[in-house]
Amino acid sequence: MRESCTLRIGRGGVPQSNSLKVDFLGCPSWQSWDFGFGNLAGEEGNRGSGFNIVAGTLAKTEGKTLLLLKPRGFCAGVVRAIDVVRIALEAFGPPIYVRKEIVHNSFVVEELRGKGAVFVDSEDEVPNGERIIFSAHGVSPEVREHSARRGLRVIDATCPLVTKVHVEAVKFAREGYSLILIGHKDHDEVVGTLGEAPLVTQVVGSPEQVKKLSVPDPNRVAYLTQTTLSLDETKDIIAALKQRFPNIKGPAAQDICYATENRQVAVKQVASESDLLLVVGSENSSNSNRLVEVARNLGTTAHLIDSCNDIEPEWLKGATTIALTAGASAPEHLVDETVTFLREKGYANVHELEVMPENVRFGLPPEIVEAIAAAPVNAGDGA
Ligand code: SF4
């Protein structure tokens, strides 16, 4: 069992606890968000801006200390996607085909593979008529159409916040805008979003690339972003776009998701107090890599680890305070194992720092809801 003290930090150090349920309109897969607090207008309840760790809290720690950041690990989109595969396996039985990694974490993928999920790179690899699950990162319309032509039974585990970006791309393209998609061009999410309007979309990953853009009408340009980018680097790219195209339009609310933002804000809060920051996450996890970059940009040594087995002994030399967090696709048991590992290395003071509460939940896709409803009632349940 983990022993630690929890410090909940809200605005000005005031704990936040009221809850608000918000229903989204117009998008069938956005069933509801359960906000920890705040409101729909600003999504403030689950975003990190404006929070500060109480002054002096960290200065009180003595000896080898482990700061366990919260929120960390699984986001609502990842929980939903993993649930979709698990429930599909139980309801329909293996094999269940999953297009690409359901989320970018090697342990999650291996666990689901062990239960009967078959991961494929393309819908082409799935036998006609079988079930296929689209990953949390989303797919292009071409993949949807191809799957339909093949008679595949699709279950869509695309994160609703990725779907939001797809909807925006379609809207801007229909209105005649040239679209600039800020992101990593080979990432599954960007490939899917780009596919919504491939003829009018260009992907940029840096302010330098903005200089090379060419569009038919500089007054009819819009931008969108990948959901898991660095907030700071994205700001720089948007600034470069605004300088180049002063009338550029953007999304009504930022595309970088609450989970990406909150984890970055938490890292920023402790980076200057830490000798080392460890991020649990897989190499291909975009949001996990961004957490490492955020710390390094603040001058703090940081490493991405798939598990505690990746920790190099020399990283710990001279490190009195270590901060530990996890990317949005990293399971909590890997964090627990890392805490145990570091405790054994002498980091006995474990402080969990809750920078803000996070209570987002997404509803399941209709195919899964129907499968649950159709499942036979366990004989023992009725007694
Ligand atoms: S990181 Fe953000 S966009 Fe990606 S699955 Fe999680 S909530 Fe959705």
Nearest to 72 by CA among 278, 310, 378: 278
Give φ, ψ of 284 to 5 degrees: -95, 10
Q: Which residues are catalytic?
A: 189
Nearest to 375 by CA among 132, 87, 115: 87
Nearest to 139 by CA among 128, 117, 119, 123: 123
More confident residue, 370 or 46: 370
Q: Is 78 in the pocket of ligand 1 (CB under 6 A)?
A: yes
Give 186: exposed, middle or buried? Use CB within 10 Å, 0-12, 13-18, 19+.
exposed
What's the gap in Å between 337 CA and the centre of ligand 1? 24
* For ligand 1, mutation pick of 29, 43, 75 (most atoms within 8 Å of CB): 75
DSSP string, 264-287: HHHHHHHHTT-SEEEEE--TT-HH
3-state helix, strand, coil in the chain (%, to 5): 40, 20, 45
How confident is the model at residue 260, as a pLDDT?
A: 98
How confident is the model at residue 376, as a pLDDT?
A: 79
Q: Is 136 in the pocket of ligand 1 (CB under 6 A)?
A: yes
Per the structure block, which two tokens stand in for 161? 């916040």
The lowest-confidence range among 5-19, 87-101, 368-382 is: 5-19
pTM of the model: 0.85
* For ligand 1, mutation pick of 30, 46, 156, 159 (most atoms within 8 Å of CB): 159
**Digit-coded pLDDT (tens) for 21-38:** 222 222 223 333 332 222
Ligand 1 atom nearest residue 328's Cα: 1
**Digit-coded pLDDT (tens) for 229-287:** 999 999 999 999 999 999 999 999 999 999 999 999 999 999 999 999 999 999 999 99
